[in-house]
Amino acid sequence: MDGTSANLGSALAINFILNGEARTEASVSPTRTVLEYLREDEVLTGTKEGCAEGDCGACSIVMVRNGSDQVEAVNSCLLTMGQLDGTRVATVEGLSDRGGELEAVQAAIVAEDGTQCGFCTPGFVMALHALRHSGETVTEEVIHDALAGNLCRCTGYRSIVDAARAATSGPAEAPALSASPEPAAAELYEAQGQLFLAPKNLAGLVGARVAHPDAPLLSGGTDLGLSFSKNREAFPVTIFTQNVAELKRIDEDDAKITLGAAVTYSEAMARIEELFPSFAVLVHRIGSRQIRNVGTFGGNIGNASPIGDTPPCLIALDTMLTLHGSNGSRDIPLETYFLDYRKTDLAADEVIASLSIPKLGADQVFRSYKVSKRYDQDISAVVGAFRLTIADGIVADARIAFGGMAATPKRAPQCEAALIGQPWSEESAIRAGAAVSEDFQPIDDHRASADYRLRVASNLFVRLHRDLEGADDIEVTSL
Ligand SMILES: Cc1cc2nc3c(=O)[nH]c(=O)nc-3n(C[C@H](O)[C@H](O)[C@H](O)COP(=O)(O)OP(=O)(O)OC[C@H]3O[C@@H](n4cnc5c(N)ncnc54)[C@H](O)[C@@H]3O)c2cc1C
Ligand code: FES
Ligand code: FES
């Protein structure tokens, strides 16, 4: 595929399974949101619209994608019709229409009085239906994590959590969408004057990029999706990356782990937890499960936000990016990728193909901290990430990076210099923290004042020291 419609033959339809029935859509706009489609075209109004920006979970549906067996909750407000091609999805209507019996989660919500006005309830049911079929060991922590992306203003969460416990305690029946295999996804779809390109390999992706240099790359859509749901944009061409095989790979050797740019947070979580537990705690706080089930590392780097959570961590971990373009691949350190506010080193014909994160040496430690007003579902004011090499009690090397402190995620060279060669002690940590103001001149905004940012970033050095000394439990600490 070279990305031009002339070379792809005739435009195909979007094929997917909805509540167990095959659907073929040949004329719907590829950037229409799935939520609008469900409510307006299918009149499946059990799926609600609350915020239309991924925050409330009222629009949650469950999805199985591209040959995967994983049943996942996703926000239909940020999902486009093009992304449905080749998937199986179920809405709340698909759960109850099974011989007239309520599905286990629905029955538990009724039994535990988990609903009042009911507006939020379908979203909770779908989030818990996905949990029930996730194959996870369900603990209290897992229940809270599964519900963190769903808001309820009436019932209070106790009765919903009680319902979650009851519904996930027994064996799960077949999920609402398991029956038929999903149809194959097409590489091109065209309707309403809009082209949706969904290449299956890297060469096709670059071909599409060269043919349509102004078209946005769409991965999970948890960032770009706002253009469709809120701004009502209808791009003439959209290039979808999730079906590109090379971008979905996770490779690992003794020295590093390499994540394809379209790997989602949920797909990578098990390996991140094993290799970089502190980073995993932070990744667990990116949006909600619904967001992490589709949001990707490539999208977090690609949007070049100064407050993206993973770039400071990945910079401190010395991550290399592989960019792929019409002249092949080039590898660059992630820290050189961000040039200025929302400006990057990505050429017009290139895509982010993958990111390689070196594993920690025996004498290395890594910690990352996200500072936000709320623990769950909040954008950071500051992220601090620290990789220290400590030999015989002396800091032999330090890679320290912050987000939220400058126009781009950035290293802190003065802080690093203040630590290297020093004994690893609270005094050294405080001295290094004092150097934060030499490295950064942050701005005031609605998330935090410049003074707060400087002070909290500086204090993170003390937290780091206490954490490494075992005085601070990273699992339960929320700043
Ligand atoms: C409710 C909500 C909560 C959120 N919470 C957080 C949070 O806590 N922390 C955080 O950091 N972010 C958060 N986000 C932002 C977003 O979820 C992340 O940035 C996510 O990683 C984006 O990934 P995506 O695959 O959805 O990207 P998309 O929306 O698909 O794309 C984002 C950008 O990256 C570009 N891009 C995608 N893939 C590539 C590629 N291969 N090469 C080059 N460019 C590419 C796209 O063109 C686009 O400009 C949140 C978003 C929402 C809606
Ligand atoms: S409508 Fe609120 S998350 Fe989709
Ligand atoms: S029951 Fe009313 S918002 Fe949840």
- 346, amino acid identity: L
Atom of ligand 2 nearest to the CA of 54: 3
Domain boundaries in the chain?
5-92+184-240, 99-168, 245-358, 364-468
Output the pLDDT for position 374: 85
Q: Among candidates 357, 353, 334, 355, which has minimal Cα distance to 344?
A: 334
The whole-angstrom separation of Cα 421 and Cα 470 is 22
Can you point out the beta strands (E) in 200-265?
Answer: 217-218, 237-240, 250-252, 256-260
Three-state secondary-structure class, residue 364: strand
Atom of ligand 3 nearest to the CA of 124: 4
Q: Which residues contact 253 (CB under 8 A, 6 or more apart)?
A: none
Q: Which ligand is nearest to the CA of 155?
A: 3
286 touches 295 (CB < 8 A): yes
Lining residues, ligand 1, CB within 6 Å: 53-55, 216-225, 241, 261, 286-287, 291, 294-296, 298-300, 302-303, 308-309, 346, 351-352, 379
152 in contact with ligand 3, CB cutoff 6 A: yes
* Residue of 45, 53, 292 to mutate, ligand 2, most atoms within 8 A of C-beta: 53
Strand order in the sheet with 188-191: 188-191, 194-197, 237-240, 217-218
Q: Measure 216 CA to ligand 1 centroid, in angstroms.
A: 12
Q: Measure 80 CA to ligand 3 centroid, in angstroms.
A: 26
36 in contact with ligand 2, CB cutoff 6 A: no
Cα dihedral 220/224/229/235 (nearest 10):
-110
Where on the phi/psi map is residue 152: left (φ > 0), alpha (ψ -120 to 50), or beta?
A: beta
Could you count the other beta carbons within 10 Å of the beta carbon of residue 249?
15
- Point out which residues pair with 321 in neighbouring strands: 332, 355
Atom of ligand 1 nearest to the CA of 286: 8
For tokens 């030999």, the residue is 391
The tokens describing 229, both together, are 């749901």
Q: Which ligand is nearest to the CA of 57?
A: 2
- 463, amino acid identity: R
Output the pLDDT for position 59: 98
Residue nearest to atom 2 of ligand 3 (CA): 117
Largest CA distance in the chain: 71
* Residue of 34, 36, 59 to mutate, ligand 2, most atoms within 8 A of C-beta: 59
* First vs last C-alpha separation in the chain: 48
- In words, the CATH class of domain 5-92+184-240 is alpha beta
Output the pLDDT for position 5: 46
Measured CA distances, 461 to 277, 294, 374 (Å) = 19, 33, 21
Atom of ligand 2 nearest to the CA of 57: 3
- 221, amino acid identity: G
Q: Measure 393 CA to ligand 1 centroid, in angstroms.
A: 39
Atom of ligand 3 nearest to the CA of 115: 1
Q: Measure 52 CA to ligand 2 centroid, in angstroms.
A: 4
Three-state secondary-structure class, residue 313: helix
Q: Measure 365 CA to ligand 1 centroid, in angstroms.
A: 27
The whole-angstrom separation of Cα 255 and Cα 304 is 27
Output the pLDDT for position 458: 97
The whole-angstrom separation of Cα 68 and Cα 268 is 14
- 338, amino acid identity: F
- 414, amino acid identity: Q
Atom of ligand 2 nearest to the CA of 49: 1
Of 3.30.1330.90, 3.40.190.10, 1.10.150.120, 2.60.120.650, the CATH number of 99-168 is 1.10.150.120
The whole-angstrom separation of Cα 63 and Cα 164 is 20
Q: What is the pTM of this model?
A: 0.95
Q: Helices 157-168 & 140-147, crossing angle to 10 degrees? A: 120
The whole-angstrom separation of Cα 473 and Cα 479 is 12
Output the pLDDT for position 477: 39
Fold entry, domain 245-358: 3.30.465
The whole-angstrom separation of Cα 202 and Cα 247 is 8
- In words, the CATH class of domain 364-468 is alpha beta
- In tens digits, the chain (479 residues) has pLDDT values of 444 444 444 458 999 999 989 999 999 999 999 999 999 999 999 999 999 999 999 999 999 987 777 899 999 999 999 999 999 999 999 987 556 788 999 999 999 999 999 999 999 999 999 999 888 899 999 999 999 999 999 988 999 999 999 999 877 666 666 556 778 889 999 999 999 999 999 999 999 999 999 999 999 999 999 999 988 899 999 999 999 999 999 999 999 999 999 999 999 999 999 999 999 999 999 999 999 999 999 999 999 999 999 999 999 999 999 999 999 999 999 999 999 999 999 999 999 999 999 999 999 999 999 999 888 888 899 999 999 999 999 999 999 999 999 999 999 999 999 999 999 999 999 999 999 999 999 988 888 999 999 999 999 999 999 999 987 554 433 33
